[in-house]
Structure 1
Amino acid sequence: MLDVRKLRLLRELARRGTIAAVAEALAFTPSAVSQQLSALEREAGVALLQRTGRRVTLTPAGHTLVGHAEVVLARLEQAQADLADSEAGPTGALRIGAFPSATQAFIPAALRTLAQDHPGLQPRVAELDPALVSDALRAGELDVALVHDYDLVPFPPEAGVHTEPLYRETMFLASTTPRTTTDAVLATCRDEQWIVATTGTRCHTMTIRACQAAGFLPHIRHQIDEFATVLAFVAAGQGVALVPEASAARPPAGVILTELPIARHTRIAFRAGADQHPAIVAFTAAMNATVRATVPMRS
């Protein structure tokens, strides 16, 4: 009989590429991961890993088993959802991940709704960049999370993770100079200093790609992740920036917002098979109610 915990390790190895990365993500030692994977090979009766020096890759049989592991793990999530649904409403801890602007704009109201409608639920919120969410969900560190992507930086398909759309925001150019709203508005910022998010985030990649599409690379002066701080820097004459609609509702004095043909899309992410878990359903309902009350929806 194949051990589900070992299957999870194999799935993570296929995703992360090295035993060290799997060990770090799941709080194991590398030797423990290696031992568990070797035990899985014995259980399977076929070679799942190919070792070349210090490198470990999956054999064709290993990749086949990973595909089955995805199905098994998703069905286990469904089983947990069915068992939880037999109780009197969602209860217990709900570990929520969210990026900072969503934490500020929407999470507090959603938590109030959850407290009113589901007092037995105990939400616990942690801020983290959307690029880290999929790993945290698969590792069991989170139950649900808010993630975002952009027209120019779509959310990549992630094994074992599903998403549902929540809301769409228009992006704006924040500057201290009036500009005409056109498809070529970014081209007028070729010689400007730019305020961008930190390297490695989707926000940073979005700004770089938007400027590249306009025919230039931005002159980066500051790297800041919090949009309220970004707008304060723009107001202080420190450069221009791209900001999403929800974060630009009340810009500082002197900041001019110019609408762009770019959108940011926020999604609810959870493990595959968990969409009908009562706690996930409750959180999704609370978030949708909050968004309807605070964000003008755009088609």
Structure 2
Amino acid sequence: MGDWDIRKLRVLRTLHDLGTVTATAEALRLTPSAVSQALSGLAKQLGVPLLEAHGRRLRLTDAARLVLRHADEVLAQLERADAELAGHLRGETGRVRVGAFGTAVPALVVPAVVELRTSHPGLEIGVREAEAAEAYALLADGTVDLALSLAAHAPTARDARFTRLPLLADPLDVALPTGHPLATAPALRLADLAAERWIFGSSGPWSRITTAACEAAGFAPEQAHAAADWHSILAMVAAGMGVALVSRMALTVVAPGPGPRGVVVRELAADRPHRHVVAAVRRGSEGAPGYATVLDALRRAATAHSGTDPAPATVQPN
């Protein structure tokens, strides 16, 4: 029987994910030489070749891929073992590190942390703002324990490393300039805005979300201006430069209270789109009491958001 060295298996898994020894060394905070030695040692222990030359690069052998299939199960089982050991603490002490995208931090993570200060004062929460790609890299290498992202940018359910948990279906409303002809139209639908000039990012998640929502409503949005920052988008809308889809969750963060000045925020009718917010943990760790405690608090924060009334129909400028 081969010697299954867990540390070396993690090196092999990281090499598979990142593709190069240099990237693997950087992710694991090792030297390239240490990565090569770990892989060479694992190959000797298991008695099978793990790497083969492919041009100027190295690639995993079929034997290495077989090893990884079993390694994922081994690593998940070790996470479960850690979770059971942590169960003795009942989630009342310890540290949980959370990585979350920009608007989720003030909208979901901060309310959860405030609640847990009272209910679980011995539980320390560390927060790190990170977009999806970074958050899942941090989750995979153990830098964070829980990642929040949009479902569209999370790893698929087929990724054996993570367990995804739904948190929130965030409604998308439409922002119009005050005085726009459709500002008071009854039962406004997204399709009613097909001829409008739109404001959204030139690339990135919000660009894809806006484009997909409009295409689902039967039209391709004409992009008049490009912006990714919510304050910039709302300022352009208030100036009459176009219309925009806005996240209900983001709006409560960037324009709390009566809402943005000079902007009418309308709830869309039957075809209202949503963006879905999910949490993820390393597979097997979802039952760890500290993680479960934080996830429960995040779910309560998400429930509070889902029950938030839409912004007022009309907000007058100064």
TM over 0.5: yes
- Of 270, 288, 292, the match for 1:281: 292
- Pairing 1:61-80 to 2, within 5 Å after superposition: 61-80=63-82
Alignment partner, residue 156 of structure 2: 156
The answer on 1:265 being equivalent to 2:276 is yes
Residue 262 and residue 52 in structure 1: after superposition, are their counterparts in 2 closer, same or farther (change >3 A)? same
Structure 2 CA distance for aligned equivalents of residues 156 and 39 of structure 1: 32
Which residue is equivalent to 1:174?
175
- Which position in structure 2 is the counterpart of 1:20? 22
AA aligned opposite 1:234: V
* Correspondence for 2:239 among 233, 236, 241: 236
CA distance in 2, matches of 1:246, 1:65: 43
Distance (whole Å) between structure 2 residues aligned to residue 87 and residue 154 of structure 1: 30
What displacement does 1:185 show?
Answer: 3.7
TM-score, normalised with respect to structure 1: 0.87
User: How do 1:49-198 residues align onto structure 2 when only pairs under 5 Å count?
Assistant: 49-87=51-89, 89-150=91-152, 156-157=156-157, 158-176=159-177, 177-179=180-182, 181-189=188-196, 192-196=197-201
Report SS of the residue matched to 2:272. strand
Cα pair distance change 1:51/1:231, threshold 3 Å? same
Give the C-alpha shift of residue 266 in structure 1.
1.0
Q: For 1:223, which of 227, 235, 246 is the aligned residue? A: 227
Q: Distance in 2 between matches of 1:133 and 1:247?
A: 19
| 2:249 is the alignment partner of 1:209 | no
73-82 or 23-32, which deviates more: 23-32
Q: CA deviation at 1:22?
A: 1.9
Change (3 A) 1:171 1:112: same
User: Percent identity among equivalent residues?
Assistant: 36
Cα distance in 2 between the residues matched to 1:25 and 1:37: 15
Deviation for aligned residue 1:202: 2.6
Report deviation, 1:155: 5.3
How many residue pairs match? The answer is 291
Q: Which amino acid aligns with 1:268?
A: A
In 1: Cα distance, 2:238 partner to 2:155 partner: 31
The AA in structure 2 aligned to 1:247 is A
Which whole-Å CA distance do the structure 2 matches of 1:161 and 1:94 have between them?
16
Match of 2:249 among 243, 246, 251: 246
Q: Any conservation in 2 of the 1:14–1:58 contact (CA below 8 Å)?
A: yes
Aligned residue type for 1:129: E
d(CA) in 2 for partners of 1:30, 1:207: 42
Q: Secondary structure at the match of 1:86?
A: helix
Query: 3-state DSSP class of the match of 2:294?
Result: helix
Aligned residues of 1:98 and 1:145 also touching (Cα < 8 A): yes
Q: 8 Å contact 2:175–2:244 — kept in the other structure? A: yes
Change (3 A) 1:34 1:155: closer
Structure 1 gap ranges (5+): none
Rounded to whole Å, the distance in 1 between the matches of 2:213 and 2:89 is 48
Task: Answer whether contact 1:94 1:122 (CA < 8 A) is retained.
Answer: yes
| Worse-matched range after superposition: 208-217 or 131-140 | 208-217
Moved more, 140-149 or 241-250: 241-250
Query: Retained in 2: the 8 A contact 1:178–1:256?
Result: no
What is the rounded CA distance, in whole Å, between the counterparts of 1:218 and 1:37 in structure 2?
A: 52
What is the DSSP-based 3-state SS (H/G/I as helix, E as strand, rest coil) of the residue aligned with 1:264?
strand
| AA partner of residue 162 (structure 1) | T
Change (3 A) 1:89 1:105: closer
In structure 2, stretches of 5+ residues that fail to align are: 309-318
CA spacing shift, 1:279–1:154, aligned 2, 3 Å: closer
Question: Alpha-carbon deviation of 1:103?
Answer: 0.9
Larger Rg: 2
CA distance in 2, matches of 1:186, 1:66: 50
Aligned partners of 1:141, 1:40: CA distance in 2, in Å? Answer: 24
RMSD: 2.5
Alpha carbons 1:208, 1:218 under 8 Å: kept: no
Counterpart of 1:126 in 2: which secondary structure? strand
- Partners in 1 of 2:69 and 2:226 — Cα distance? 43
SS, match of residue 184 in structure 1:
helix
Moved more, 154-163 or 9-18: 154-163
Q: Tell me the distance in 1 between the aligned counterparts of 2:164 and 2:85.
A: 22
